[in-house]
Structure 1
Amino acid sequence: MKRLRFIGSSLDDLKNFPIEARREAGFELDAVQRGGMPSDFKPLPAVGSGVYEIRIHALGEWRVVYVAKFDDAVYVLHAFHKKTQKTRHEDIELAARRYKQLGER
C-alpha cells in the first residue's frame, strides 16, 4: 500500500470538508493507495500527467486532486469546495504549481 502525502495546505483544506465529505474522501483515497481507482473521478491533464480529481457529492460538491503515478506515494495536490459547474482557473493553477514541485524533489 502506498503512503499518502499532502502537498501545501491540502491536508488542512481536506480537514475543513464537512464530516460526510471527509469520510467519503478517506474511503476514496484508501482505494487509490491500494492501487484502485475512486468510484467517481475525472482525469485532469491540464494539471499534469497522471493527475485525477475525486468527485465527492456530499453536502455540496467537493474535489480532491491527486497523483498516484509515483512509486513512493499518492500525492494529494489540492482539496476544495466546488461552487460552480466549471472548475475555477485558480484551483487548476494551484494544483499545477504543486505538481511541478513534485518534479523538483
Structure 2
Amino acid sequence: MAETMKEIHWVGSSKKDLMKMPGDVQDIFGFALHLAQSGAKHPDARPLKGFGGTSVLEVVENYKGNTYRAVYTIRYSNAVYVIHCFQKKSHQGISTPKRDIEVIESRLRFVEASCGGL
C-alpha cells in the first residue's frame, strides 16, 4: 500500500527565503519537511517555544558560523505549512528574534484563517 504524503504549502516568502540559503542547509530542511509530509519527525525538529504544544516545529542548522531556521506546522491533516525560513542574525542568546516571532505569529494567523480555524 502506497504511503500518503501531505502536501507542502509555502506561506509568504518562506520558499524564496529557503532557496537563498546554502545548498547543504536547503538539503537538511528539505529532508525535515519530507519527513513531516510522511508523518515522521526529523531528529533535530523540536517544538517552537511559545506556540502551544508540538504542532509548530522548528529545525535549526548551524552552517559555517551562521544559524538557519525553518519553522513549519503539522497542525492540519491536509498539509505541512512552511511558515518561515530565516537566518538568525542576532548574536544575543539562542532565542528567536522578536521580528521573526512576529512574522511567525502573523503567518500562523493567516494559515488558521485559511484552514477555518483550529
- RMSD (Å), alpha carbons: 1.4
Between the aligned residues of both structures, percent identity stands at: 33
Report if aligned partners of 1:2, 1:33 keep a CA contact under 8 Å in 2. Answer: yes
Which residue, out of 5, 12, 15, partners 1:8? 12
Q: Distance in 2 between matches of 1:46 and 1:72?
A: 24
TM (norm. structure 2) is 0.82
1:42: how far off? 2.2
More displaced stretch, 38-47 vs 14-23: 38-47
Number of aligned residue pairs: give it.
Answer: 105
1:86: how far off? 2.1
1:68 corresponds to 2:80:
no
Which residue, out of 43, 48, 63, partners 1:44? 48
Displaced runs of 4 or more, over 6 A: none
Report if aligned partners of 2:8, 2:82 keep a CA contact under 8 Å in 1. Answer: yes
Gaps of 5+ in 1: none
Counterpart residue number, 1:55: 60
Q: Distance in 2 between matches of 1:61 and 1:25?
A: 13
Map 1:19-34; keep pairs closer than 5 Å. Answer: 19-34=23-38
Q: Distance in 2 between matches of 1:3 and 1:17?
A: 22
Q: Distance in 2 between matches of 1:82 and 1:101?
A: 23
Gaps of 5+ in 2: none
Q: State the AA in 2 paired with 1:57.
A: N
1:53: how far off? 0.6
Which of 1 and 2 has greater Rg?
2
1:37: how far off? 0.8
Q: State the AA in 1 paired with 2:57.
A: Y
More displaced stretch, 10-19 vs 38-47: 38-47
